[in-house]
Copies of this chain bind each other. A is one copy, B any other.
Amino acid sequence: MAEDAHSTLTRRIRDAILTGEFVASQRLVEADLTARFGASRSAVRLALVNLANEGLVERLPNRGARVRSISVDEAVEIVEVRAGLEALCARKAAEQLGDEDAEELRALRDAIESAVRGGDLIGYSELIQELDRRIREYSEHVTAGRLLEQLHAQSARHQFRLAFAPGRAATSLAQHLAIIDAVLARDPDAAERATREHLGDVAAILAALG
């Protein structure tokens, strides 16, 4: 993932999709993107191919690209896969947590608790994402990490809907604290179990909402 021109463009289009600037199923015409981002058509094409491989964009031969819309069934599938991968990462993280990592994790735990106490749902949601990222990092599992990053990007929109499900914050908080505590306790089994439990709930709620 170098920082040259086409990577930047890929990132810019990805951001536009993730922030909802381009809505689901919207057509992404190469000429339009060329004008909008001031890049050449080759660069746009390359970016679209990359995003198609990431699963954010759908490319039909001779018919152009569009923002891929993810069905509820597929969102559930993604959460099921995430459960397996994040459980693996949580386990590894618990096994090999360094002392300074533990310090960071405790600080994050405090931040999460105070965000919830303050009723800051947006901040809470961001901190949870940070938590996921940290656990991936501590696990040092690059293969799982790479796949998880893709899956997160794909289901970003569904995540969002989930955050505001009524009464969700309380159980979500408890589950995340359980994950953190298991990792801090260096207990791999508990970390894996807590992660699975949490994502099992997420899958169930997603399926019910759909």
Contacts and interface: CB of A to CB of B under 8 A. Distances in A.
Number of copies: 2
A78 B81 CA distance: 14
Interface residues of A, number: 24
A85 B77 contact: no
A80 B90 CA distance: 13
Interface string A145-157: 0010001000000
Contact of A144 (B49, B53, B80, B144): B80
Contact of A61 (B2, B50, B88, B144): B2
Contacts of A46: 49
A74 B50 CA distance: 23
Interface string A84-123: 1101100000000000000000000000000000000000
A185 interface: no
26 contacts: A2-B60, A2-B61, A4-B61, A46-B49, A49-B49, A49-B50, A50-B53, A53-B53, A74-B142, A74-B143, A77-B141, A77-B142, A77-B143, A78-B143, A80-B141, A81-B88, A81-B141, A81-B143, A81-B144, A81-B147, A84-B84, A84-B85, A84-B87, A84-B88, A143-B151, A147-B147
